[in-house]
Amino acid sequence: MTISRPRAFRFSALALAIVLAAAGGYAVFGPGAQTPAHAQQAAPAAPVDVAPVISRPIVDWQRYSGRLEAIDRVDIRPLVSGTLTQVHFKDGALVKKGDLLFTIDPRPYEAQVERAEAAAAYTASDLARAKRLLAENAIARRDYDQKESDARAAAAALKTARIDLGYTRIVAPIDGRVSRAEVTQGNVVSAGASSAVLTTIVSVARMYASFNVDEQTFLRYVDRSRAQGAPVPVQMGLADEKGYPREGTVASVDNRLDPTSGTIRVRAVFDNRDGLMLPGLYARVRLGGSAPHDAVLVDEKAIGTDQDKRYVLVLDKANHADYRAVQLGASVGTLRVVTHGLAAGERIVVGGLQRVRPGDVVAPNLVSMDGQAAPIQTASAGLN
């Protein structure tokens, strides 16, 4: 059969198109070609830091706010009246017990001592003569008793005069830090409990931190520990300090609970070795509320937020990052207690959390959870 030239041309063009289409399909789908799905599967895994969840003994702490108080505080008042002749300290200075603080004009009291000494000497001599006369029955017993009484009174008056003279030198009764001089040189001061305070001294070697503890904590921890004779640990930090670097113990507990607030006053004692603690300063206090117990701990950086939930990404044996909701407890340094949702030894993402989605395969770099050990640079893909 003979095919016309135009029809033959159309047949040749159709055949050529089929061949070219087949060649293109081979180029796209032939050996070595990658489909979009295959290209997506070959994407590299995100590198992340991974750490095993750790378990460690901890103590539960209850947090409170309080104020520092001096263990010893003394208001210095004059015990004799007179003119203040000298102030022997600088305002705010540290003083030792027995250091001279003020001097009251001693001259009137020196005169009283001399007068009392003269009276004591006369009555003592008169008593000695009476003794000789009594032995010779030349004096009545009643007269002798009167002279003996006069001698004793004169001796007592001399002792009182010497005590008053000693009170003209006002010394520090305790070690501590002195306040400013409230009464200055040249002023007249009066003796007595209602007299003006000359200055105040507070002890500084140790300091109280006073705070109010709720009824449940008191009954559960403080009262129980005291009944067992065990010290109740307390940690404290000043307003400009990080954490709770100062350690002490409960020193005393009030004898009644305030029914209005439902709290009881507690005082803890702390050493003040650096001298930075002053009465009245604000104190952040945490009270040891339990015996040591094992707790599951993770790094704070490993915890993500999902609306009102907290979660971590847990790695399975194939290094898939799985979403795991957790319940959190208190902070322990840079770590956080996990009360529910994790077990010790499970691997979780602690670095690069923002680069991973649940279900992604990751390239784990195993590190220590608390940073105390040197990081482990490699990890087995099958490690649990």
- Report the 10 Å Cβ neighbour count for 160: 13
In terms of pLDDT, which residue wins out, 356 or 97? 97
Q: Would you say residue 275 has pLDDT above 80?
A: yes
320 in the same domain as 278: no
CA dist 46 to 43, 113, 246, 325, 357, Å? 9, 95, 43, 22, 10
pLDDT tens column, 12-71: 555 555 544 444 544 444 444 445 544 455 567 889 999 999 998 887 788 899 999 999
Work out the mean pLDDT of the chain and round it to a whole number: 85
In a domain, 176, yes or no: no
User: Looking at this protein, which amino acid is placed at residue 356?
Assistant: V
pTM value is 0.64
Task: Compute the residue count for the chain.
Answer: 384
Q: How far apart are CA 166 and CA 174, in angstroms?
A: 18
The answer to the question of residue 25 being in a domain is no
* Structural contact between residues 374 and 356, judged by C-beta atoms closer than 8 angstroms: no
What's the CATH code of the domain at 243? Answer: 2.40.30.170
Q: Which CATH number covers residue 148?
A: 1.10.287.470
Decide if 194 is inside a domain: no
Judge whether 191 lies within some domain. Answer: no
How many domains are contained in the chain?
A: 3
Residue 282 and residue 309 share a domain: no
pLDDT of residue 382: 30
287-337 tens-digit pLDDT? 876 667 889 999 998 999 988 899 999 999 999 999 999 999 878 878 999
Regarding whether 343 and 312 lie in a shared domain, the answer is yes
Same domain, 277 and 132: no
377 pLDDT higher than 80: no
Question: Do 299 and 264 have their domain in common?
Answer: no
Residue where one domain finishes, among candidates 232, 264, 288: 288
Residue 356 has pLDDT above 50, yes or no: yes
Within 246-292, strands assigned E span 246-253, 263-271, 282-288
Domain assignment of residue 19, yes or no = no
pLDDT > 60? residue 72 = yes
Q: How far does Cα 247 stand from its chain's mean position?
A: 7
232 neighbors 288 (Cβ within 8 angstroms) = yes
pLDDT beyond 70 at 371: no
Residues 284 and 337 in one domain: no
Could you tell me if residue 268 is inside a domain?
Answer: yes
112 belongs to a structural domain: yes
Question: Residue 146: is its pLDDT beyond 90?
Answer: yes
Asked if residue 273 has pLDDT above 50, the reply is yes
Helix (H, G, I), strand (E, B) or coil at 328: strand
**Do 55 and 67 belong together in one domain?**
no
Amino acid 11: pLDDT:
47
**What is the C-alpha to C-alpha distance for residues 168 and 223, in angstroms, rounded to an integer?**
48
Of 103, 107, 126, the closest CA to residue 115 belongs to 107
Same domain, 158 and 232: no
Helix (H) / strand (E) containing 161 = helix 141-166
Rg of the chain's alpha carbons, rounded to an integer? 44
Verify that 111 and 152 share a domain, yes or no. Answer: yes
CATH for 297? 2.40.420.20
Domain membership of residue 83 (yes or no) is no
Tokens 């030792």 — which residue?
Answer: 96
Together in a domain, 255 and 217: yes
CA 55/CA 295 separation, integer angstroms: 5
pLDDT digits (tens, 9 = 90+) for 76-130: 999 999 999 999 999 999 999 999 999 999 999 999 999 999 999 999 999 999 9
State the residue range of the domain holding 210: 63-71+204-288
